[in-house]
């Protein structure tokens, strides 16, 4: 199953050192379970998005690991891919960038041809460079954001409402970020997504740098042991009791000051909810925990 990781550190740039797919300095064993690509999206000092990604398992690409250790940003987005649609190529590797924003998705849905027609009607078919359902979902969000005058939250709501009403859906979990704001969605209940709001000033001083990990993504940072931040991950990344599972249908927005707002703008379940048994074998394999 693909893995999502998002981080918002407020107005400060921080260093979040990623060792994708395994424990520190070893990118071998776990990456073999998620073999189809890994990427990290950040923003530079001027707020411009940048991507570091490869269509390789992290254990095959030690240069990628070395680069990822030094990145600084106010927000981060990381993704480890187990492909459900689209070949193992750079254009199909998450995160994706459109209109200066970064996006990653964990899930699957059907009806790609119908979505392509919708994107053509909206004049954004040229945004899609690869074969994934994820990049098409992002293009629909981008189109709806443009039509909403740049309101990203409204763009997400309009796009998800259309897909959940018109297409067969298994999971639409996603994270979308700019340099100043981050949105995360868990919808429907098929996959989990966790959030941690962390304020070191209100906690006992850590004895060591923040060291958060899951079976797929590991993040270690001295900066983050000292400054407030909000984390999102497919699984809770350490034993902090403040991790909570987002509720199905919950859309979370984290603003520039780290204010967290949660809304529930969607029906309890999509109109055409898929199960693993409904998916093609390759897609079903990519969605299993």
What pTM was computed for the model? 0.86
The sign of the torsion formed by the CA atoms of 10, 13, 14, 18 equals positive
pLDDT at residue 88, rounded to an integer: 58
Residue 241 contacts residue 196 (beta carbons within 8 Å): no
pLDDT at residue 16, rounded to an integer: 57
pLDDT at residue 110, rounded to an integer: 93
Domain at 3-287, CATH class: alpha beta
Q: b/e for 195-234, b at 16 or more Cβ within 10 A?
A: bbebeeeeeeeeeeebbbbbbbbbbbbebbbbbbbbbbbb
Of 141, 146, 110, nearest to 273 by C-alpha is: 110
Per-domain residue ranges of the chain:
3-287
pLDDT at residue 32, rounded to an integer: 45
pLDDT at residue 21, rounded to an integer: 38
d(CA 132, CA 36) in angstroms, rounded, equals 13
Kindly give the parts of the chain with pLDDT less than 50: 18-34, 58-59, 63, 83, 207
């Amino acid at each position: 199953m693909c893995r999502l990781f998002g981080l918002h550190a407020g107005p400060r740039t921080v260093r979040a050192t990623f060792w994708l797919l395994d424990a520190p300095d070893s990118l071998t064993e776990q990456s073999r379970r998620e073999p189809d690509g890994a990427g990290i999206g950040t923003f530079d000092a001027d707020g411009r998005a940048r991507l570091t990604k490869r269509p390789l398992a992290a254990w095959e690409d030690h240069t990628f690991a070395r680069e990822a250790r030094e990145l600084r940003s106010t927000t981060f987005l990381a993704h480890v891919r187990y492909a459900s649609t689209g070949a193992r190529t750079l254009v199909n590797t998450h995160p994706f960038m459109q209109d200066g924003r970064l996006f990653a998705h964990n899930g699957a849905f059907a009806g790609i041809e119908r979505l392509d027609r919708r994107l053509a009607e909206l004049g954004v078919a040229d945004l899609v460079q690869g074969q994934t359902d994820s990049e098409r979902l992002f293009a629909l969000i981008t189109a709806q954001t443009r039509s909403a005058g740049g309101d990203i939250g409204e763009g997400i709501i309009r796009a998800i409402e259309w897909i959940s009403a018109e297409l067969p859906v298994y999971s639409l979990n996603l994270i979308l970020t700019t340099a100043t704001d981050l949105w995360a969605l868990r919808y429907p209940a098929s996959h989990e997504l966790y959030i941690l709001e962390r304020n070191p000033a209100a906690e006992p001083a850590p004895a060591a740098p923040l060291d958060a990990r899951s079976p797929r993504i590991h993040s270690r940072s001295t900066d983050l042991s000292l400054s407030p931040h909000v984390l999102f991950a497919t699984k809770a990344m350490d034993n902090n009791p403040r991790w909570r599972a987002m509720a199905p249908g919950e859309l979370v927005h984290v603003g520039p000051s780290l204010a967290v707002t949660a809304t529930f703008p969607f029906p309890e379940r999509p109109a055409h909810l898929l199960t693993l048994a409904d998916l093609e074998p390759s897609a079903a394999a990519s969605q299993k925990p």
